Structures are given as C-alpha cells and as structure tokens.
Amino acid sequence: MRAVIFNKISWCALVLVLLAAETQAQRRGGSTRRRTATTTTTTTTTEDSAEVVNPATGNAVTPPAAPATDPAAAPLRQDGVGTPVSDTPRKSLRVDGVTSKNSVRDRVPIAYDNIREDDKFWEKRIWQVIDIREKMNLPFQYNVEDENGINQLFINILLASIKSGEITAFNPIDDRFTTPMTYAEIQTKTSGEERTVRSIDPVTGEEKMVTTRDEFDPRTIVQYKLKEVWVFDKEASALKTRILGIAPMVSRMNEDGSLRASIPLFWVYYPDLRPVLAKFDVYNQNNDAASMSWEDLFEMRFFSSFVIKENNAYNREIKDYIKDGTMRLLEGQAIKDKIFNKEQDLWQY
C-alpha cells in the first residue's frame, strides 16, 4: 500500500516539474521575441523619422525638417515680418496714390550767400535742442516708408547716410568736428558691443556659442542738439543764421528709472548734410500734396527749439548755473530776445 502511494506522489512531482520547466521556457522565448520585435521597430522608426531623445525630459522628439534653401531668396528678419536683412529698399510695384509722384532724388540745395570776414558786424553762437515730442516737431516722428521703400524717420536718414559714406559722423568728445567716427562705432554705442553667449538648442539639447547684439530702437531718440551761428551781414544789412551741426541725443537712465543725462550720440556737419536732406520729403500733416524737403524745414526754421547755451566766458550751459527747469526755459528765451533786439536796435525809424 505504501509503495503505491509513493509511486503516485513521484509521478505527480515529475509532472509538476515538467509543467514548470515548459512554462519558464515559454516565458523566456516570448520575451525574447517581443524584445527583438521592439528593437527592430525602434530601429526602423529611428531610421525613418530620425527621432531624437530630449535629454531634459527623456522623451523622443522629432526635429523639424530643414527648410529648403533657395540661394536667390533673401533671408528674413528675426521678427518674422518678412523684411530682408539687406538694406535694399522694397519699391512699390503699383502707384500708391492718385498719381505717380515725380522722383526728387536729384534735388540740390541752394548755395549760401558768401559772407566776407570784414562784413561780419556782429556774431553770436548758441546751442539749441529740438524736442520731437512737441507738436510743431511731429514730422521728426514720421516713421513710414515712401514709394521707393526708403524710411522717412529722421534718425534713420542720418544713420543710412553715414553707413553709405555720404556724410561723416564726428565723435561727441567735442562739438568742433575734430574726430571722425565710423558706422561700426556708432553701432556699438547704440546697440552695444557684440558678445558671445552660450545657448542650448531646445530641440536637440546641443550647447553652442552664438554671437548676439542688442537691437537699437530709433524711437528712443527724442531730442536733437543744434549748434548754430547768428551773424549780422552789414553788406546785406540782414541778420543771418547758419546751422553748423546736428547731434541726436540719447538718454542715460538711473537705476530707479529717472533721467540722469542726455548726451550727444554723434555730430554731423550740417553743410555736408544739406545735399542729403534735400532728397527727402517732410511729412505735412495738413496737406500730403504740399511737401517740402528736410533741408527746407531747417532753412525756413519750421521747428520748435529752446536755447541751452550761448557762447560765454565760462563755457557752461544754462543748466550749470540755473537748476530750476522753468527758469532755464525763461533764460533761453531771454537769449533769443537779446538776439532779436540786437537786430532791431541797429535800425532807426
């Protein structure tokens, strides 16, 4: 009886061992087959879609396809507006108005009357500031492109003329036009120096060094400094004005956001600038058909300004001896009245 029981137990144990071995073998074989299939699928997917694993998240991402490079197409700006980086203006392909405007790019300014040294009966040198936020100076804020695609903002006209070499900019270390400046130096003062920074590609996670520079906003120029001479020509019996230089002013701010000072960005010799200004029209807010050039605006003095300095023994500005802003304006107006009265006192009625 005992022998029969032991025999049955042995056969049951043998069957259990065989079943366990078969089950384990099936598990191993299926896992191997699934792993092989997964590896094959991953390899195929990698080869087809070129997936890249993002090191930050560990997820597989698909990098964007490289755009088709057309050597004839001009690169676009970073803002995506679609304006070419090159300075080539975009000319209008249709008549932008009722009639086609005549080209006035060949205009030349009228030459000044010659004033002999012996005919200078009286002379006064003053410095003034044009604030384009005043109502009369709104044409200085006209920031649009004409039919030829040339921007009409006054500071852009100056910078484009300097870049093209039509005029020479001078360092504001003094106002006697002694030290020329290059366009690259002006770019450094407006946008800062080029600097190399470390950048990480958000898609591939690749780290690389890129060269960057801050963008210059021309709308931050809100003042222009003028240096001019008022002289009485006794041969013509007339008081005449000669603008010597123009300098755009940049504002320097304190840490709390308050204005620290306004300093000249560069100086431009106005007699050299006159041929350039004669080619560009000034915006007329009352009548678009009645236009004049920038050279006409300065010669006919269609702008508002205030005196900040006159030639004096101490070579100081009004702000150096008058601290109140209102009193400075009154002192500047007093200098203008003194020049006007000087001319009137030369006549007898």
Supply the pLDDT for residue 42: 40
Name the band, by pLDDT with cuts 50, 70 and 90, for residue 6.
Answer: low
Average pLDDT of span 305-319: 95
Which tokens go with 191?
Answer: 């946008």
Residue 130: partners with Cβ closer than 8 Å, 6 or more residues away: 137, 140, 223, 224, 225, 226, 303, 304, 305
DSSP summary character for residue 140: G
Distances (CA, A) of 209 to 198, 212, 215, 336: 5, 10, 19, 56
Contacts of 114-120 spanning 24+ positions with Cβ under 8 A: 115/231, 115/233, 115/235, 115/240, 116/235, 119/233, 119/234, 119/235, 119/236, 120/231, 120/232, 120/233, 120/234
Domain assignments of the chain as residue spans, ordered by start? 119-182+222-343
The SS3 assignment for 73 reads: coil
Pairing of strands 120-131, 60-61: unpaired
φ, ψ dihedrals at 26, nearest 5°: -65, -40
State the burial class of residue 156 (Cβ atoms within 10 Å of its Cβ: 0-12, 13-18, 19+).
Answer: middle
Average pLDDT of span 234-240: 91
Q: Which has more confidence, 101 or 19? A: 19
Which tokens go with 147?
Answer: 């039919």
Name the band, by pLDDT with cuts 50, 70 and 90, for residue 219.
Answer: confident
Would the pTM count as exceeding 0.85? no
Residue 267: partners with Cβ closer than 8 Å, 6 or more residues away: 169, 170, 171, 172, 175, 177, 227, 245, 246, 247
Distances (CA, A) of 32 to 25, 26, 40, 45, 46: 11, 10, 12, 20, 21
The tens digit of pLDDT for each residue in 324-338 reads 999 999 999 999 999
The tens digit of pLDDT for each residue in 223-234 reads 999 999 999 999
The SS3 assignment for 148 reads: coil
Name the band, by pLDDT with cuts 50, 70 and 90, for residue 35.
Answer: very low
Is the four-CA dihedral 53, 56, 62, 63 of positive or negative sign? negative
CB atoms within 10 A of CB 97: 11
3-state helix, strand, coil in the chain (%, to 5): 35, 25, 45
| 90 pLDDT above the threshold of 90 | no
Average pLDDT of span 166-189: 93
Cα 207 to chain centroid distance, Å, stands at 28
| 93 pLDDT above the threshold of 80 | no
The tens digit of pLDDT for each residue in 252-310 reads 878 787 778 889 999 999 999 999 999 898 988 888 877 789 999 999 999 999 999 99
Distances (CA, A) of 293 to 105, 155, 262, 282: 10, 15, 28, 5
The SS3 assignment for 227 reads: strand
Supply the pLDDT for residue 52: 65
Average pLDDT of span 2-16: 72
Alpha carbon distance 276, 291 (integer Å): 16
Supply the pLDDT for residue 68: 55
Residue pair 246/178 in contact (Cβ under 8 Å)? The answer is no
| 138 pLDDT above the threshold of 80 | yes
| 83 pLDDT above the threshold of 70 | no
φ, ψ dihedrals at 293, nearest 5°: -85, 165
φ, ψ dihedrals at 107, nearest 5°: -70, 145
* Mean pLDDT lowest among 126-130, 139-143, 238-242, 252-256: 252-256
Which tokens go with 127?
Answer: 């410095």
Supply the pLDDT for residue 44: 42
Supply the pLDDT for residue 193: 62
Supply the pLDDT for residue 81: 38
Alpha carbon distance 149, 38 (integer Å): 59
Axis-axis angle for helices 154-164, 270-277 (nearest 10): 110
Which tokens go with 17?
Answer: 């061992």
